[in-house]
Structures are given as structure tokens and as C-alpha cells.
Structure 1
Amino acid sequence: MGHIREEVKVIESGANDFKLLEFSVGEIRQGINILKIYKIIKYCPADIRPIFNSESSIAGILNIENTIISIIDLHEVFQLKNKANNSSSIIITEFNQEFFGFVVDDIVAVHKISWKNLRPINDSCPSDLFVSVATINGKEILLTDFETVVEKVSPGILRLPREDLSIETDTTSRRKCTKIICADDSKVIRLKLKYIFDHNHFDNVTIVADGQDALDLVIKQNSSDNPTDHFTFMITDIEMPKMNGLTLCREIKNRYPHIPVLILSSLVSEQLLIRVKEVNADAAVSKNNLHQLLDEIDKLLLLQEKQKKLSQSGHLKFDRPTM
């Protein structure tokens, strides 16, 4: 199979559905959003160069078109008895500008499903490496949290931006005064967002795991008579159970058009930017480049401050930043 991102020229699904690739690892039926996939290749252990003294889940590295790809064996990650064989495949994806290949058994099918069909993982799930579950044709398919898999196998590889000690006083003040709500179903991304905010002068941040919880919380807090209770900035993932990020953005903008919404996605493509504009989001940042996150937040906070001053002076003009 060729480059998935090149083959999917247009996002055919609407705001409430997406295409899910179903695959298996042992007896576990798993899934991944097809737009997160860079390429799928046949598993050939002879082409994989082992890494001395590496973690057992790391099968080695593979050189494809002069790109070095770290190969992670999901059989080892999930501690399964059965191992990869000649019929296995490697799903290649990208995190933080690095490529990773995941060894799986069967590539089963591609399904078009609604975001509403995703359910949060409950306590009975055998692993914390899944973010949600979908029932398709009577079978449960677990959506794998590949960011958490990578972090578990190689802690710290999803690098974080360092604290900027030379930050301007006005920027620090805007950050401290902003009340942010974040929604992301990946545990490792939530932890990394918390780290970024804790170390960069953001004093009032709430992080939740799905879009519906975020919407409910904003409606509740922003109904308060006390303005200090109100959320003034939103950051949201796209792929989440109960309510996806695009629907969440549309709901927020319909109710609170003054709240900047920043989309955080594993893949920021031309097609995604079209969708982002359709729901009136203000910016989009790739999870592969969290270093850009603070810059985009600061740009939107500065614009928000200017708009507030114009509104107070009676010359309201809303300019959404270009993407």
C-alpha cells in the first residue's frame, strides 16, 4: 500500500464521521483513524536492524526511502504469546516529526463510522493504551493510543518545549489571566499539555478527556455571574469519544464567538485546514510540533486583547488570524 495521506485527496466524511482502519494484534481487534497513517508495508524481519540493548518492544530500525523508522512490535507491547509472522504488516505513522512503525497481524478493513459511536474506555479495559471503543458489525474495536504506546516504549521521545526564560512581561500577564479548557482523549498528551502549561506561566487550565465534557463545563462556568469563572480560551483534539473536536468547536463558536479555539491534531493537512475554517476555529497546531503551541496561543491572546480594547472603545472589528 502506498502513502495513505497522498491517496486520501479529500476528506469524504462529514464533521460527524471518519474512516477507521481495523487491524488485529493477536485476538485484540484494534483501530486507528486512517488519516493518521503514513504508510502500510509488509513485515519483513530481515529488513529490520536490531538495536543493541533496547527495550524488548522495539524490534529495531528500518530505512525506507532514506527515512529512519523505529519499529515497535505491538505483540511485545501487549505481552502476547503469539508473535509476528510472514503475514504480518507494519503500520507507519508520525509523531513529533519522527516516524514509527507498529507491527500488527491482519489488516482487516476500513470502516466509515460516526464519532458518536465512540465510547470512552471503562475500568474493565485490560490496558491503558486504548482511548475509546467502537462497536462495528457486532464486534468491539479498541482505538489504540499510539502516542502513549510510543511514550511507554521510549519515555521522553515526544519532546516538550522548554520554558522560555526571556518571555516578555505582557505575554506573561496575558497567560496568567487566561482561563483555558483543553480536551484530548490521549492520556500522554494530557500529561504533556499539563507540563507545558505548568512551566510556562499558565495558572488556570482545566484538561478533560472528551468534547462533550468540555462543552458541558464551558456552558456551566460561562453561565456564572462572576466573569472570573468564565473560560476564555479553548484547545481541543479532533478524534475523541462522545463529541469530536470539530463539532465541539462549532458549538463553542455558536455560543461564545469571542472565545479563541485552537485545534490540536496528529496531522495538520490542507484538508484539515479546510475543515478547521468551516467550523470557525482560529488556529491549528500539529501534535508533532508542540513547540509551536505556545507561539499560536500567544498570537491569539494578543489578538483577543486588541479586540477587547476595540470593543471597549466602540470600534469592534473581529479579525481571525490566517492559517
Structure 2
Amino acid sequence: MQKLEADVLDSNKNKKGILLESGTNEFEIVEFNIGDVYYGINVAKVREVITRVPVTAMPSAHPFVDGLFTLRGRAMPLVNLARAINTKGSDDPKNIIVTEINNYNIGFLVDSVSRIHRISWKNMEPSPEVGNESMIVGVIKMTDKIVLLLDFEKIIAEINSEINQKLTTVEKVNSSVESERRNKHIVIAEDSKMLRDLLVNTLHESGYEFVRDFGNGKAAFDYLMSLKNATGSIDDHLNIIISDIEMPQMDGHRLLKLVRADKVLNKVPVILFSSLINDEMRQKGERLGATAQISKPEIGQLISLMDNIIFNNKK
């Protein structure tokens, strides 16, 4: 375990070097298990992996939360991941995966952590359609096993109600602003159906009525390619692209790279709206040509920025 912890830390230390690569459509996962099932989490979300430490119980805590633990002087909640995804784990889980997601530090208790894999997003299949309750966002087929990529954002949103509130709360504007928004065409790439529906509904309620949404970057890019054949200027059919980063088939960085390389699409504003926006990932987004980058779940900031870009042409 000490070697794995060092590997994870080295991966984060060297992330700056990885991020300087152009949109390769690759990512790294930390593989772990709960019971006999293998799961994965994007390395970009992982601060470190530690052995299990003592936990202080919290009165009235969410059922998923075992309590608080302290790491380098900072107290943070510990989520019992087996309980959160309603599966049977070991009676003696060994490891805590310490994460930073949506600018929120939280630990996840798992049975054990094994290794890191580098994978192409093309090799990750979307989760089978089993409804909004699924905690699985993707399936990775390896030679000897299947690894399930979990929707950690959904788990955190269920624990922290403030996140859902930020995803659905926007500032009221006058009718003239809403009227201007109605004529603008928005494309969204977001793999989480729950978040995608929340985002689309909130944009509709704010006046952005023409929204096309897709579950991955490839589907979004195929649609963007089809717009090139439409009559008139591309500005008549597309005003802004909002993309998650972490998606199956094609991630947001690869989508951004392809848009910027296209002679017709390259001036279209692209906002990266992701739980992975930190200093290192922001550096890569800037290198690839992102117009702006906002960390989920700040949808109020997202809509204000969209207005600023679309109506004031501030790129």
C-alpha cells in the first residue's frame, strides 16, 4: 500500500506534465474494490490514498457518512462507499481515497486500492440505461475484469444539499434579458443524466430555450459537424458550447481541441463546466483554448458568464 500511495502522489505531482499534452482523449483511474467488484475513480479527483484512520462520529450525519477524520490538520467527512452504492463490502475496509471534487474535500472508505491505469475514453462504454438512480457512469472492459466508473458527483450531491441548490438557483433577470436569451443556440455535452437534466431545465427556466444536449463529447461533436452543412453562418446555428471534461467516448478536452482545430467552428465560445476544474486542469483548458472554465455546481456563475460572452462578445 505504501507504494500505491506514493504512485498516486507522484501522479498528482506530475499531473502538470500530463496536462501539457494536448487533448489525447486519455485519462488515468485509481482502481479499487468493494467486495468482489472493481471500481474506478479519475486520478484528477484524487488527492491521495491513505490507510484507514480513526473516525469521529457526527450527530445527525447523513446515512452515508461514518463521521469525520483528520488529515494534515483538516477535518473532512468520510463516506462509507459500500453503503452509498448499496452493496456488500468487507467487514474490515482498508483504505480511504481522499478526493477534491467540486472544490469539496471528502474521503471515501473502500475495501482496498490496487493500482493506476491509463485508459482512452474511447474504451469506456456509457453505463447501461437503468434510470437516474444508477451510480455508474461508465464501464471499462479490461483483459481480466470489468471496472465500473462511479458517479462520485452524484454521491456528494446527495450528501450535500447545497450542491443541488447551486445547480438550480439562478438570479432573476428582467423580461428583456430572457427574451434575448431565447434566440441563442446552446450545445451541452454532459455524461451524467441527472446533471444534464438539471442543467437543461435550469437553462430553459432562465430563458435559454434552444438547448441541444448530448451524453458524451463524440455525440456532441458529430452534431457540431452536421451544423457545418446548414445554410448561413455558423453563428446562426450555434452560439456557445458547454462541456463537461470527464465523459465516455470523447472527453471535454478532446472535444475542445477538435473544435479549435476546425476552420468553421474554431471561433465558437467553449465553456468547460466540470467538477475537475482546479489549478492544474485549468492550465490544460487554457492551453487547449477554452473560452472560460467554471467548477460545478456554480450554474448561476455559468449563466452570467454565458450572457457576458454571448452578448458582449468577451472571449
Superposed pair shares fold, TM > 0.5: yes
Residues 123 and 201 (structure 1 numbering): CA distance in 2 closer, same or farther, change over 3 Å? closer
**1:296 matched to 2:302:** no
The answer as to 2:229 corresponding to 1:223 is: yes
2:253 pairs, out of 241, 246, 252, with 246
Work out the CA distance in 1 between the residues paired with 2:75 and 2:202: 28
Query: Is this contact kept in 2: 1:221–1:229, CA < 8 A?
Result: no
* AA matched with 2:139: V
Q: 2:137 matched to which residue of 1?
A: 131
The equivalent of 2:75 in structure 1 is: 68
Q: Within 1, Cα distance between the matches of 2:241 and 2:183?
A: 14
The alpha-carbon distance between structure 1 residues 9 and 247, as it changes in their structure 2 partners (threshold 3 A), is closer
TM-score computed with the length of structure 2 as normaliser: 0.83
Q: Deviations over 1:259-298 (max 9, x none)?
A: 2111122222343233223332211111254443123212
| Equivalent in the alignment of 2:65 | 58
By how many angstroms is 1:110 displaced?
0.6
**2:147: which partner in 1?**
141
In structure 2, the gaps of 5 or more residues are none
Alignment CA distance shift 1:230-1:216 (3 Å): same
Residue 49 in structure 1 maps to residue 56 in structure 2: yes
Instruction: Tell me the distance in 2 between the aligned counterparts of 1:249 and 1:145.
Output: 23
Partner amino acid, structure 1, of 2:89: N
- Post-superposition CA distance 1:115-166 (Å, at most 9, x none): 21111112479x711111112333211111101122344555443163322x
- Does the 8 A contact of 2:33 with 2:39 survive in 1? yes
CA drift of 1:34 comes to 0.5
Shift in alpha-carbon separation, 1:277–1:301, aligned structure 2, 3 A: same
CA drift of 1:56 comes to 2.8
* 2:266 maps to 1:257: yes
Q: Distance in 2 between matches of 1:204 and 1:59?
A: 43
The aligned residue for residue 212 of structure 1 is 218
Alpha-carbon offset, residue 97 of structure 1: 3.4
Question: In the aligned structure 1, how far is the partner of 2:198 from the partner of 2:96?
Answer: 27
Q: Secondary structure at the match of 1:185?
A: coil
Q: Say which of 35, 49, 59 aligns to 2:44.
A: 35
Shift of 1:192: 3.0
Inter-partner Cα distance in structure 1 for 2:119 and 2:232: 41
The answer to whether the 8 A contact 1:95-1:288 is kept is no
* Contact 2:170–2:206 under 8 Å retained in 1: yes
Q: Give the conservation status (yes or no) of the 8 Å contact 1:19–1:34.
A: yes
Distance 1:158 1:90, change over 3 A: farther
Choose which of 212, 235, 246 in structure 1 pairs with 2:242: 235
User: 1:113 aligned to 2:122?
Assistant: no
Among candidates 177, 182, 188, match of residue 183 of structure 2: 177
TM-score normalised per structure 1 = 0.82
**Alignment RMSD (CA, Å):** 2.9
Equivalent residue pairs, number: 302
The 2-side partners of 1:282 and 1:81 are apart by 44
1:307 aligns with none
Q: Contact 1:55–1:153 at 8 Å: present in 2 too?
A: yes
1:250 and 1:49 mapped to 2: Cα distance?
46
Q: Which sits farther off after the overlay, 175-184 or 150-159?
A: 150-159
Asked which structure has the greater RCO (Cα within 8 Å, sep 6+), the reply is: 2
- The 1:72/1:19 distance shift into structure 2, 3 A limit, reads same
Which sections of structure 1, spanning at least 5 residues, go unmatched?
A: 305-319
Task: Work out whether residues 37 and 92 of structure 1, in 8 Å CA contact, stay in contact via their aligned partners in 2.
Answer: yes
